[in-house]
Structure 1
Amino acid sequence: MSAKDAQRTRIATAPGFIAALDQSGGSTPTALAAYGVEPSDYNGDAEMYAAVHAMRSRIITNEAFSDDKVLGAILFERTMDSEINGKPSAKVLWEDRGVVPFLKIDKGLADMENGVQMLKPMPELDALLAKGNAAGIFGTKERSLVHEANAKGIADVVAQQFDVAKQVIAAGMVPIIEPEVHIKSATKAEAEDMLAAEIMTHLDKLDEGCDVILKLTIPTNAGLYDAAADHPRVLRVVALSGGYSTDEACSLLGQNHKMIASFSRALAEGLSVKMSDDEFTAALGANIGKIYDASIA
């Protein structure tokens, strides 16, 4: 079995969750501050990215970050381009940790229009996908954001997501389609109903062999995405934490039995640069245990 076949089988069938370690330039200072690294602790982007890479490396190489609970990990491009203990990050994940590597490919969100924020243009996507393939990346992730139940906006978001997904599939990778719905939206439930219908329409149009992963906000109405999870073109439906605390996210996820986690903030909650190795392992292990249990509920 090839590495990609083994990775596909693992993602589609194994118990566990996908870790999100893909904070980009805009969200990196917030992630570092939560980890106890303040802006005064680094000077300029190079030092900031070095600090966040050290945080991610500490997570990836920790014994609690084990393949019996963590199926995959989503990386920021700079993390893919960097090394951990002298070895490329994606190879460390798969070869040393048994964790399937994914790559965040979007360039951020466009300004809001029709109640949504679509993906910014990605003119260099083909080159990035080629680089990802060469680095051993299995799949990609691209995030849009829905703020309100606007039918046109949601239709546009989903259409754009699936267009990008087809480009990713053509490059030999598996896309994680992520049209997030803001957890504080006043019309969250209505937006999710619209989103679910649009997603099913596009899934039905995919050719055989064109498989995707869906990354979605935990729905207001539990089980909303069960039909999508059962669709033959869907390898897995994963949930984002969306700003919920670890406990909140896990409690809500546990009500959706066909979704597994792909958490970022919730995964790193409570971790600190000042922790000893034993303290760090205990805190990370506790978060991973909660997220894993919610993912297999």
Structure 2
Amino acid sequence: MPDPIYTPKTCREPAYQLDWSYSVFWHQTPTDFSWLEELKQLNEKDGIRILQHEFQEPKVSQFLISTRPQVAPLIIAQRVKGRLQRLVRDTIPNAFQRNYGLRSIGSTRREKLDHYLASQLNHHPMADERVNERLKRYQIHHPHLDLSNPRQTSHAQYWYNLHIVLVNDGRYMEIRDELLQGLQKMIVNAANAKGHWLSRAAIVSDHIHLTLGCKLEESPEEVVLSYMNNLAHACGMKAVFRDGYYVGTFSEYDFWVIPRPSAESSAPPSKLGEGVGVV
């Protein structure tokens, strides 16, 4: 196996917006929530930022969480719930049920994002209409893979949807049939091999958008780098993309459906990393 071209070291400054609604279920209603600040501090070092907590009946703690690309959703569940159990063990020794819910959320809802990807060729038309017709043949859409549906494990119901953007190095415009066909085939094969729900791939001349559902144990960073390296392999093991990427979470819901504790939250929560515009 050749060494990967794209690694965490070569892609040190990705743009990202990774946010989650995480629900844990208590055995009994807690009366003390003084643990929240300490729980925030304990998880911050792992790239898990607790932005908000709200308790709701029946016996549900709902957290709004932001993470770094290196953090797999499974780690969110393990760290937050495990550390909270330790913080309350003196008063509630067996605090939680084993099941939990996790939903990726974002600043844009799934329907709007899907429409945006579907219209990429109109957003980025080529001067030669023959090239536009050629690019149309390499778009990928799998409407039967509905990312609004949850995935399940023995203890979790979850939605883990990612929007990935890869930009060609130097904004090079790739319009050769054999390369476009290779990219299309590799995206489909990689998604099938990894068990991803590939909803849509918008392949334009100088960048690629992907929307897909992933597995809990995979970090966003792992997912993105695997596609970057697979696509580089399809192009003859060449560094075809910039040493960076955009990755964001999304679902049926966005930030605006989450109640805010105060008026100061009039915009989506601040992120752990710097964001950039999505092409």
TM-score normalised by the chain length of structure 1: 0.25
Question: Counting helix residues as a fraction of each chain, which structure ranks higher?
Answer: 1
Q: Which is greater in Rg?
A: 2
Question: Counting strand residues as a fraction of each chain, which structure ranks higher?
Answer: 2
TM-score normalised by the chain length of structure 2: 0.27
Instruction: Specify which structure has the bigger relative contact order, considering alpha-carbon pairs within 8 angstroms and separated by 6 or more residues.
Output: 2
